[in-house]
Amino acid sequence: MRRTGPTAAGLAVILLVAVPRVPGGQRQGGAQAPIDFERDVRPILAENCLGCHSAGRAAGGLKLTDRDAALAPTKKGRPAIVPGDPDASELLRRVRSTDPAVRMPMAREPLEPRAIETLRRWVAEGVVWPRHWAFEPVRKVDPPAPRASARVRNDIDRFILVKLEAKGIAPSPEADRYTLIRRLYYDLLGLPPPVEEVDAFAGDARPDAYERLVDRLLASPHFGERWGRHWLDLARYADSDGYEKDRARPDAYVYRDWVIDAINRDLPFDRFTVEQVAGDLLPDATSRSMIGTAFNRQTLTNEEGGVDQEEFRVNAVIDRTATLGTAWLGLTVGCARCHDHKYDPLPQADYYRLFAFFNDADEVLTEVPTGAKAPELDRRLASLQRALTARYAELAPGLLAWEADEHRRIMATPSTPLAEEPLEVLELASAAGVGTADRLGSDLCVRAGPERDRYTLTARAAAPEVTGFKLWVLPDEALPARGPGRGPDGGFVLTGFRAYVVHEGAADEPVELHRAQADYAERGFEAEAVLSGKDGGRSGWAVGGKLGQPHWIQFRTRAPLRLDGSARLRIVLDQQFGEGRALGRFHLAALTGNSRGLHIPAKDVADGLEMYPEKRVAQTRRRLLDYYVSEVVRDERARALRQEIAALLKEHGARTMEVRTIGTPLLARKTHVLDRGDFLSPRQEVEPGIPAILGSLPTHSGNLNRLDLARWLVSPENPLTARVAVNHVWNLLFRRGLVRSLDDFGLRGERPTHPELLDWLAGQFRNELGWSRKALIRSIVTSSTYRQASGYRPELVEVDPENRLLARQNRIRVESEIVRDLQLAASGLLARRIGGPSVFPPMPEDLAKLSYANSFTWKNSDGEDRYRRGMYTFFKRTIPHPNLMTFDSPDANVSCVARTVSNTPLQALMLLNNETHVEAAQALACRLLARSGDDAARLGHAMRVCVSRPATEREIASLRGVLDTARRYYAAHRDEAKSLLGRHAPPTVPAEEAAAWIAAVRVVLNLDEFITRE
Amino acid sequence: MQERELVCERVREMTRRYFLGVGGSGLGMAALAQLLAADDAPAVNPLAPKPPHFPATARACIFIFLEGGPSQIDLFDPKPKLNALDGKPLPESLTKNVRFAFIKKESAVLLGSRRTFAKHGQSGMEFSDLLPNLARCADDLLMVRSMHTDQFNHHPAQLVLHCGRPFFGLPTAGAWLTYGLGSESQNLPGYVVLSAGRGTSGGASLWQSGFLPSVYAGVVFRSQGEPVLNLTNPPGLPPELQRRGLDALREMNDARYRQVHDPEIASRLASYELAFRMQAAAPELADLAGESRSTLEAYGVGRPDPPIAGPQRGGGPGQYNAFATNCLLARRLVERGVRFVSLFHASWDHHSNLDAELTQNCGMADQPVAALIQDLKQRGLLESTLVVWAGEFGRTPLGENRQGYAKVTGRDHHPSAFTIWMAGGGVRGGTTYGETDEIGWTITRDPVHVNDFQATLLRLFGLDHLKLTHRFQALDARLTGVGGHVIRDWIS
């Protein structure tokens, strides 16, 4: 029983309320109200029957999902329900039976006699079975007229009052002004109201003082932060990949800022929806609308080695589909991934039709201008990027064929390790004709020579197959500054390296070399320069900065060089830089083995091609694409577009960053039903579409795409989005939704407590208010219902223990981020800058180390960033900041529609002792000590700062008790007083006094009231 | 009872308690606080002990998680035939539908074990030479050689082992147990996490409460600094001032409670009191001064890491001592009524350098784990304490020939057959359960899915895995997902 979830609880209440209307045993129901299917019957079916008799399972061939299905013949060949004839209905026989082998529900407690009677009457009355309310169109509702019309501030109140009046319950009085202003500040901004504003509001006698306050707060830029964060819960927003490696996503904040901005400028919810689901497909797409699609890039990425990337791509698509269900449809569509939905009329194929919209969308990087943007640049850039993507799509078939060919070719080559084999040097000649080499074992050393030089070596390789050359440069006491070069500081510049196979009586055959690589290179003298021949042959490889030590450079052959025992090689080392910068002591070796993919000049490309296609991570796939376009097919159109983009950015002086977004894939992807949700078990192909129960999309010439889906989401044909959206807002302002199962409007979800109000609000939102989030919130918070006091009413405990009827407001413990914001704001420390890269408030070092292989360092932010709002804390999925998690932040792995609210000792410890919160106490003490006035005045001010009301005498007495005890203590322990002051010691107050104040204000900062929206 | 009545009852109860505590004096409040703290009503203290569905044999669990996938072939499941086939390829029929993380099927060959195995105890349970101390506990162990899981990458497989399915946002077994049974400790959290060495790939997802309230999440006890985050008063604030501050806070919160009657305020009062008690209890727990020298030595507390050759990919310096200390702390936690203790140690992912690194890791784990079992037994705690040793999967009989590897010195991930063991808590000691084929490739007898193991684990605690549920996304979600069968043969 204690494990009964909230959903079941709701149904139970409905049952209890319903039962008295069904007097047991009264067979002739002449005076009775007829059975209401939704209220009376559906809960019985949902709790007791649908587990087995759903669309997916249909035990015995009986489906209790809708009337037609329920009246169809079962496996026994006849219907289980006969309308109008309970005694001929198998259903009744089964639930009435006393034989456990026959009785339904099978292997469970028998139904209550009242429930059986309800079913009997329902059948007797002809099996009235309306469609599920949530799948019906939003009704046009006229607000009712309650008797207590004086309590009506707007139409919302009418719906609430009528229900209360039906129960004979009076609403609560309006909360006092202190509570009201704090409530609005907490709900709309997530900040405490400044004391002066509280005073002004408390004394504002104008009749519209409250509405003026609401309007001012809705216009505050912090409104976007507060309500943006709510949306980010749904978007499962985080700053890292998730899974093992959990790499940082330094661009993630761009989407977070997009959300804040969209909410601040009150982007209508329909457009807000379309840009996030399909902003890339809009005909007037800009880089800004493309950022919106990052909503669906908040999915997790697994770059753990050895991962099958296709599996995790499919996982991400699954998550996008589920999130669409949660955030817009209020349906647990994810349940139909593996099988037909157990409760809702959502067959598995319908799920994959929805899935198909996202299956044909890929993770891409969009180059977005940072800072202030000219709209023209935005549009132009987006259109060029689209053209480039389209060009890539044209090239994609060739790319795939090339990748497959190369992979096959590489895998056909045996894998052997790279090894170093000696080269026997037969002869060394210097072009300048000076200085012959000393032989030092297998090393050579040229001690003196001219400004420039060229060494030509003739050598014999012992190995039959050579795949490269490695040149070691070595220090030697005989060289200037120990070498390894002959330059004045021991330096050298190797400006060229060529190799030839010597053929007797014929010209030398040049060996094609590439993939220059060195153990170290001086800046501007990289290994690649040796083969490039740039700068008139003067550029090359050097090791300045690390002279006097051995180094190496190596070159690979473009193809394995097969040599017979007598073949000789000629190797030319150019040193044309000047200043005597030629090689001193060196050693030349042949490389053998590891010839897989040797023909490809770029090693990372060869490595990528060697990987099985499904193991290539996004970065690898992108590298292969770039290489293919620019090096293999050398596509002119793509090059021109890239140049145009670069020129455009230059012209606007725009800096850009790459942002993870969603775009169309290079190759259109087909979608199949996946057997049991397994990506390795594709079954029949399906086309994109919406669940049949919700209608169908108008077809047009092309294939249906995400833009069609997005537009349907916010169309009048969709019964769910507007209801789900207003319910979400209602939940945030009352702690409970009108539909309490926020993520489940389906058959097993709860019925709305106020169905007419829900539909009225949904209609308003969509029509009269033009999808304006601010207008919707305004209409709710200006209602009398919202403005009620939140105190519990003992007399209602029995009647309405969960406050479903809203005879009062609810108290809401604020979210983790807001706990921080309130404390920092009260102490005066809060940095109010909006947006920008995520920050790193203090966190113990060892905690960050608990993530994968100590790969992550949390570098505490300094200065202003130490005190930013909680929502800007860098969210690393595997090690989220403990202050966030302690107060129930969602883990950002899946969409979160309602946070849990727990109440734990760890929260107490955090508020008492955590660095940030102790700092808040220190700073608040400073603030108070800077004010004139006696102890009582200052303590009273602390209360006004934190809980926005005058303190009671008893409260002052309690606080003064702490203050005086602390004063006595610190008078005797001055050193301890000093250590308590921390970073925020007041300059003119003795340490003992300041410390005593810190001890006292700590109590205020820990008040339940402070972190509760009342 | 219906939820509605529960809520009514809860509010009536709050009111009753409120009036009991009333009187307005600080004394009355202290009485209230005491009452609240000792209260067993879930409405006030969600961690209050709750009765199981059936009589339980286990009361506490110590879950030793060796992250990365320890090689069962080199520790618990000897395969002489594999040694004989060393260097031979596997027939294609065996690898056809198998996916690997890193192995390239085309050229992979079997890799024999260099370990020697012997039978131990009356039961004749087999252990490799790397676990001499653990081998002496053979007759207390239930060794399961026929485990399998669905996932072959680390983090997803870790989620299966801890949460039942490879998805995020689900509670761990520790969270489920604490949710189902509450905590018997008045002063410590019900679910504690101890970690030695570097972090695991799964990070916090391996101790979070998912869709259950966060009060059921694991609390990380730290190996450096304060044992619990934020446990220590700020510098310069002595316990007596903390107490004085809490008294004032209680007065003020109580005054608010009298105005608005919100039970959450009473809950907060209680949580501040538990926090205060934790401030004393957690340092006491971590203080090993009261342990005898022989106990410390038995666990190996204070042992230095042995020098090892070559690059160390393991847990980093000090892990021998840290792991031994954690094993001892686990016993101390269980003694104090903590329900679930997770011991994490990462770096058992031996794709290469298997012999050297497995030797290093076993040198770290063998002595303290054996000492823990013996210590629990000696104190009469083993019969009610389930000790589990598990990785997220096992390792392949095939050697790993990953792209870029010059030599084959390790094994890849193997989800289709691996070994875990349990001791105490009512499991049948001296039992080896399940069999794999002669090279350890597939299970040939009594396959056990991770969900079966979890169902049985809950059963040992007197919980029916089908009934321990929580409504989430329209489903009655449970630890065992859609699977799980209790294995009666494991229960003594």
For A853-878, give the DSSP string: TT--------GGGGGB-GGGB---SS
A1012 touches chain B (CB under 8 A): yes
Q: Does the distance separating the beta carbons of A813 and B346 come in below 8 Å?
A: no
Residues in chain A: 1014
Nearest to B205 among A304, A308, A878 (CB): A878
DSSP state of A240: B
Average pLDDT over residues B50-62: 95
B3 touches chain A (CB under 8 A): yes
Contact B141, B423 (CB under 8 A): yes
DSSP state of A812: E
- Res. B474 pLDDT band, cuts 50 70 90: low
Is residue B152 classed as helix, strand or coil in its secondary structure?
Answer: coil
| DSSP letters for A124-136 | HTT---PPPGGGS
State CA A650 to chain mean position distance: 32
Average pLDDT over residues A155-167: 97
- Residue B464's CB is within 10 A of a number of other CB atoms, namely 16
Q: For the purposes of burial, counting CB atoms within 10 Å of the CB of A983, is it exposed (0-12), middle (13-18) or buried (19 or more)?
A: exposed
The residue ranges of DSSP E strands in A103-258, in sequence order, are none
How much of chain A is in helix, strand and coil states, percent to nearest 5?
45, 10, 45
**Which CATH number is associated with domain B60-229+292-490?**
3.40.720.10
Nearest to A13 among B4, B169, B251 (CB): B4
- Residue A975's CB is within 10 A of a number of other CB atoms, namely 10
> Domain check: are A580 and A451 in the same one?
yes
In chain A, what's the furthest Cα-to-Cα distance?
Answer: 124
Contacts of B240 in chain A (CB under 8 A): 969
Is residue B489 classed as helix, strand or coil in its secondary structure?
Answer: helix
The C-alpha atoms of residue A535 and residue A521 are separated, in whole angstroms, by 18
Contacts of B180 in chain A (CB under 8 A): 3
A985 touches chain B (CB under 8 A): no
Interface of B with A in 365-404 (CB under 8 A): 401, 403-404
State CA B126 to chain mean position distance: 24
- Res. A848 pLDDT band, cuts 50 70 90: low
State CA A825 to chain mean position distance: 27
User: Of A494, A499, A627, nearest to A557 (Cα)?
Assistant: A499
Is residue A294 classed as helix, strand or coil in its secondary structure?
Answer: helix
Contacts of A604 in chain B (CB under 8 A): none
> Which of A303, A909, A1013 to mutate against chain B (most B CBs within 10 Å)?
A909
Interface of A with B in 51-90 (CB under 8 A): none
- Across chain B, mean pLDDT equals 86
Write the pLDDT tens digit of every residue in A770-780. 999 999 999 99
Q: Is residue A901 part of a domain?
A: no
> Domain check: are A427 and A546 in the same one?
yes
pLDDT given at position A685: 93
A893 touches chain B (CB under 8 A): yes
Q: Is residue A647 part of a domain?
A: yes
Q: Is the pLDDT of residue A22 over 80?
A: no
Residues in chain B: 492
CB pairs under 8 A between A and B: 309
B280 touches chain A (CB under 8 A): no
Q: Does the distance separating the beta carbons of A900 and B213 come in below 8 Å?
A: yes
Question: Number of structural domains, chain A?
Answer: 6
Amino acid identity of residue B136, one-letter, is R
Question: Chain A closest CA to B204's CA: distance in Å?
Answer: 6
Nearest to B272 among A3, A888, A908 (CB): A908
Q: How many CA atoms lie within 13 A of B227 on its CB side?
A: 20
Q: Is the pLDDT of residue B411 over 60?
A: yes
More confident residue, A248 or A533: A248
State CA A392 to chain mean position distance: 28
Last residue of a domain, one of A130, A147, A163: A130
Contacts of B224 in chain A (CB under 8 A): 846
The C-alpha atoms of residue B393 and residue B152 are separated, in whole angstroms, by 7
Interface of A with B in 416-435 (CB under 8 A): 417
Q: What percent of chain A has pLDDT over 90?
A: 62
Nearest to B8 among A801, A913, A976 (CB): A801
Domain with CATH 3.40.720.10 in chain B: 60-229+292-490
Average pLDDT over residues A859-876: 94
Q: Is the pLDDT of residue A361 over 50?
A: yes
Is residue B10 classed as helix, strand or coil in its secondary structure?
Answer: helix
Is residue A515 classed as helix, strand or coil in its secondary structure?
Answer: strand
User: Of A533, A519, A514, A417, nearest to A469 (Cα)?
Assistant: A514
> Domain check: are A282 and A346 in the same one?
yes
CATH assignment at residue A559: 2.60.120
> Domain check: are A496 and A633 in the same one?
no
Q: Does the distance separating the beta carbons of B195 and A850 come in below 8 Å?
A: yes
pLDDT given at position B416: 95
A320 touches chain B (CB under 8 A): no
pTM equals 0.82
CA distance readout (Å), A997 to A738, A909, A941, B243: 45, 20, 13, 16
Average pLDDT over residues B354-381: 96
Interface of B with A in 25-44 (CB under 8 A): 42
Question: Chain B closest CA to A948's CA: distance in Å?
Answer: 14
* ipTM reported for the complex surpasses 0.85: no
Write the pLDDT tens digit of every residue in A503-552. 888 888 999 999 999 999 999 999 999 998 776 777 899 999 999 999 99
Contacts of A846 in chain B (CB under 8 A): 222-225
pLDDT given at position A851: 60
pLDDT given at position B473: 66
CA distance readout (Å), B274 to A379, A395, B18, B270, B279: 59, 65, 19, 6, 9
What sign does the CA torsion over B411, B415, B416, B418 have? Answer: positive
Nearest Cα residue in chain B from A790: B260
pLDDT given at position B152: 87
More confident residue, B79 or B261: B79
With residue A1000 as reference, give the H or E element that holds it.
helix A991-1005
Q: Does the distance separating the beta carbons of B235 and A797 come in below 8 Å?
A: no
pLDDT given at position A23: 36
> Domain check: are A942 and A1006 in the same one?
yes
> Domain check: are A191 and A251 in the same one?
no
pLDDT given at position B18: 38
Q: Is residue A814 part of a domain?
A: no
Average pLDDT over residues A160-183: 96
Which long-range CB contacts under 8 A does A534-541 form with residues at least 24 apart? Answer: A537/A495, A537/A496, A537/A574, A537/A576, A538/A493, A538/A495, A538/A576, A538/A577, A538/A578, A539/A493, A539/A495, A540/A493, A540/A494, A540/A495, A540/A496, A540/A574, A540/A575, A540/A576, A540/A577, A541/A493, A541/A494, A541/A516
Contact A469, A589 (CB under 8 A): yes
pLDDT given at position B51: 92
Question: Chain B closest CA to A238's CA: distance in Å?
Answer: 14
pLDDT given at position B159: 93
Question: Chain B closest CA to A3's CA: distance in Å?
Answer: 6
- State which residues form the domain around A632: 381-408+604-654
Question: Chain A closest CA to B259's CA: distance in Å?
Answer: 7
> Domain check: are A641 and A590 in the same one?
no
The C-alpha atoms of residue A370 and residue B380 are separated, in whole angstroms, by 66
A440 phi/psi in degrees, rounded to 5: -120, 85
Q: Is the pLDDT of residue B23 over 70?
A: no
pLDDT given at position B22: 32
User: Of B415, B481, B330, nearest to B153 (Cα)?
Assistant: B415
Q: Does the distance separating the beta carbons of A955 and B255 come in below 8 Å?
A: yes
Contact B367, B321 (CB under 8 A): no
> Domain check: are A391 and A431 in the same one?
no
Q: Is residue A661 part of a domain?
A: no
Q: Does the distance separating the beta carbons of B12 and A908 come in below 8 Å?
A: no
Q: Does the distance separating the beta carbons of A909 and B241 come in below 8 Å?
A: no
> Domain check: are A475 and A563 in the same one?
yes
| DSSP letters for B37-87 | HT---TTT-TTS----SS--S-SEEEEEEETT---HHHHT---HHHHHTTT
User: Of A597, A622, A619, nearest to A607 (Cα)?
Assistant: A597
Nearest to A995 among B152, B224, B236 (CB): B236
> Domain check: are A568 and A440 in the same one?
yes
Q: Does the distance separating the beta carbons of B268 and A908 come in below 8 Å?
A: yes
B18 touches chain A (CB under 8 A): no
Last residue of a domain, one of A64, A98, A130: A130
pLDDT given at position A637: 96
Write the pLDDT tens digit of every residue in A672-722. 999 888 888 899 999 999 998 898 887 776 779 999 999 999 999 999 999
> Which of A14, A247, A736, A904 to mutate against chain B (most B CBs within 10 Å)?
A904
pLDDT given at position B102: 82
Contacts of A314 in chain B (CB under 8 A): none
Amino acid identity of residue A534, one-letter, is K
Q: What percent of chain B has pLDDT over 90?
A: 61
Nearest to A893 among B169, B233, B471 (CB): B169
pLDDT given at position B105: 80
Q: Is residue A849 part of a domain?
A: no
Average pLDDT over residues A249-264: 95
- Point out the least confidently predicted range of A527-531, A782-786, B428-432: A527-531
- Res. B3 pLDDT band, cuts 50 70 90: very low
Q: Is residue A434 part of a domain?
A: yes
Q: Is residue A163 part of a domain?
A: no
> Domain check: are A570 and A456 in the same one?
yes
Nearest to A999 among B4, B241, B412 (CB): B241
Q: For the purposes of burial, counting CB atoms within 10 Å of the CB of A643, is it exposed (0-12), middle (13-18) or buried (19 or more)?
A: exposed
Q: Is residue A770 part of a domain?
A: no
Dig out the tokens for A714 from the structure.
Answer: 């916010």
> Domain check: are A458 and A562 in the same one?
yes
Q: Does the distance separating the beta carbons of A903 and B268 come in below 8 Å?
A: yes
